[in-house]
Amino acid sequence: MSSVRSPLRSAACAVLAGVSLAACQPGLRPLTAPESTPAPRAADASEQAPKAPSTRVSQPAATPRTSAPANATTRGAARSSGPSPAVTLPASGEPDALMRTATSVFGDSTYFDGVPDGALADEVTWDIDVRSYETHERVEYFLNRFAGPSRDWMSRAITRGTRYEPMIRLKMRRAGLPEDLHYLALIESGYDPHAYSSAAAVGMWQFMTATGKSVGLRVDWWVDDRRDPARSTDAAIRFLSDLQSQFGSLYLAAAAYNGGPGRVARGLTRFSEAIGDVEGDDKFFALAEQDYLYSETKNYVPKLIAAALVAKEPEKYGLSVERLPAFGYDSVLVDAGTSLSAVARAGGLPLDSLTELNPAILRGVAPPDRAEWIRIPRGTDSLVAATYAAMLPEERLGWVEVTPERNETVAALAKRYEITARELEWYNPGLRRTRSGAIVSDQVVRVPKREAIVAARPVADPAIERYASTTSTGVHVVRRGDVLGTIASRYGMTVSRLKSLNRLRSDRIRVGQTLVVRGTSSASATRTASTASGRATTTRRAPAAPTTHTVRRGEVLGTIADRYGLTVSRLKSLNGLKSDRIRVGQKLKVTRS
């Protein structure tokens, strides 16, 4: 890769030095920006526009580093000859604005140091107060669980977390938060980007739809940023920073992250006399002693402390942890509707690598309403840029557009193109139909290509929050309007029996709460609650997963690895695979036998 940088890029790097060194990389190449689509979003920066500039710098562009076609452009600097557009540099003292400018110039890219701060120190230290509370009764309880019945789950979760830890720590540090708060993601989801709770909380940081949107995440039919490790981490940091400012205590902020800031604030007011002059993190434990917080919120901070103690010294607690390659990527800007498979073809890349780096892309394509930064493996941007720019628009698109025949139904149209009706509906949300079920004839219908379908995630509309009942596992998730009487009647038991199964001392329940409704499943449900988040995070990939998987048509290693909570490299290692090629009917190991 050429080391030549344009004067514009060098000037911007100089201004941004010390604020966003990871973003100032020469290996980023945005691709052709669509003329008729909204401006693409900055993937790892705030969505807001920079403040009024204090300086404007305009530099002539340097000679392009590759022979990319003339229409391959950088974001903020032209690749062809002639004067470059001005780059707005925010006033000093505006780190957020500087980060946004960095992303707008250089794209979405990360180069994280794979060794966390303090990892090579002789003495293990924490930047949250764990030593003062490690002998607390509930902390000791979770220490025993993490080192005992939940040891295998913790080992897998901490191993998964080594991939994301450098990225999260760097972001925490830049935001002025303790880096060890990244262990919140351990107790929330086990660092699983695709964790999905019974209450419809999603991602590594377990955001509900409304909360995710409130902290700047895009959550809709096409994109679910809650699944994106970098963007969801930025959102969690914004939320935690606000909570810390509100309560003045990290542990009260953590409790509010779990149980809601309103409830914590009301509790502090209501029990101010009982809490007395207690200050700092001790105030959480003083509040937890009152009969007020929900049990999972009372346990949330002790669980965090125990997780931090175990994860920093896993060998001390008998855990075996592997260190994975650090999460990092370059990025390219693609047209709306571009398929991940087209980007993979442009760089000769395995599709699995793109689906793993772009977990927020739900349908295997960039959203149809705007250009999108697509993440690619480090060092591949020049090849992807040159090849992608030479592609015809129809080669980039993940679908073809057709007009349905008169009175044609979704099923009939899908059959005509040899796909399923469900797959057709994935790419046409809001498709209008007549009362007879026929597609309204004046519509243009997107028919997805097979290459787009194989990269899609079979998830429902994430913009709609659902509280599902999971009776097959012996639990019920409380929905709006539920009371103990109706739940007990539904499962053929008395209210007293239901309360006994769940150790309830009152009739008070809340939306999203998980209740055991079968005596035979209570032990299993208790184990799940002890290893999942305080929000009853029961992920789709539970520890009791099958030991083998039979490959089906359209599957790739990435989708199989996602399903069982593995990385592609781990799946390949388990099966002795030297390439990404698999065949229909092949049996793959998905857990240790």
Q: Alpha carbon 323 to chain centroid distance? A: 20
Domain 471-531 matches domain 548-589 at the CATH topology level: yes
Mean local confidence (pLDDT), 103-132:
66
Give the 3-state DSSP-derived string for 342-407, with helices as H, strands as E and coil as C.
HHHHHHCCCHHHHHHHCCCECCCECCCCCCEEEEECCCCHHHHHHHHHCCCHHHHECEEEECCCCC
Both structure tokens of 244? 């810390």
The pLDDT-based confidence of 474 (bands split at 50, 70, 90) is: low
Least confident piece of the model among 91-95, 123-127, 497-501: 91-95
CB neighbour class for 108 (10 Å; exposed up to 12, middle 13-18, buried from 19): buried
Given a contact cutoff of 8 angstroms between Cβ atoms, the answer to whether 467 and 479 are in contact is: yes
pLDDT tens-digit series, residues 415-460:
999 999 999 999 999 899 988 889 998 899 999 999 999 999 988 7
**Does pLDDT of 537 surpass 50?**
no
What interhelical angle do 250-259 and 295-312 show, nearest 10? 120
Residue 130 is predicted with a pLDDT of 96
Residue 39 is predicted with a pLDDT of 54
pTM (2 d.p.): 0.65
- The listed CATH number (3.10.350, 3.40.50, 3.30.70, 2.60.120) that belongs to domain 400-448: 3.10.350
Higher pLDDT, 588 or 491: 588
Given a contact cutoff of 8 angstroms between Cβ atoms, the answer to whether 62 and 5 are in contact is: yes
**b/e map 159-177, b = 16+ CB within 10 Å:** bbbbbbbbbbbbbbeebeb
In degrees, to the nearest 5, what angle opens at C-alpha 20 toward C-alphas 11 and 179? Answer: 170
- The listed CATH number (1.10.3720.10, 3.10.350.10, 3.40.30.10, 3.30.2320.80) that belongs to domain 548-589: 3.10.350.10
- Which CATH topology does 471-531 take? Membrane-bound Lytic Murein Transglycosylase D; Chain A (3.10.350)
Residue 93 is predicted with a pLDDT of 42
- Closest by Cα among 441, 438, 429, 448 to 403: 441
- The listed CATH number (3.40.50.720, 1.10.530.10, 3.60.70.12, 3.55.50.30) that belongs to domain 131-317: 1.10.530.10
In angstroms, rounded to a whole number, what is the distance separating the alpha carbons of residues 465 and 9? 43
Residue 562 is predicted with a pLDDT of 64
Domain ranges (residues) in the chain:
7-111+328-394, 131-317, 400-448, 471-531, 548-589
Higher pLDDT, 179 or 528: 179
- Closest by Cα among 480, 544, 422 to 200: 480
In whole angstroms, how far apart are CA 269 and each of 266, 272, 276, 283?
Answer: 5, 5, 11, 12
Q: What is the DSSP string of 179-206?
A: GGGGHHHHHHHSS-TT-B-TT--BTTTT
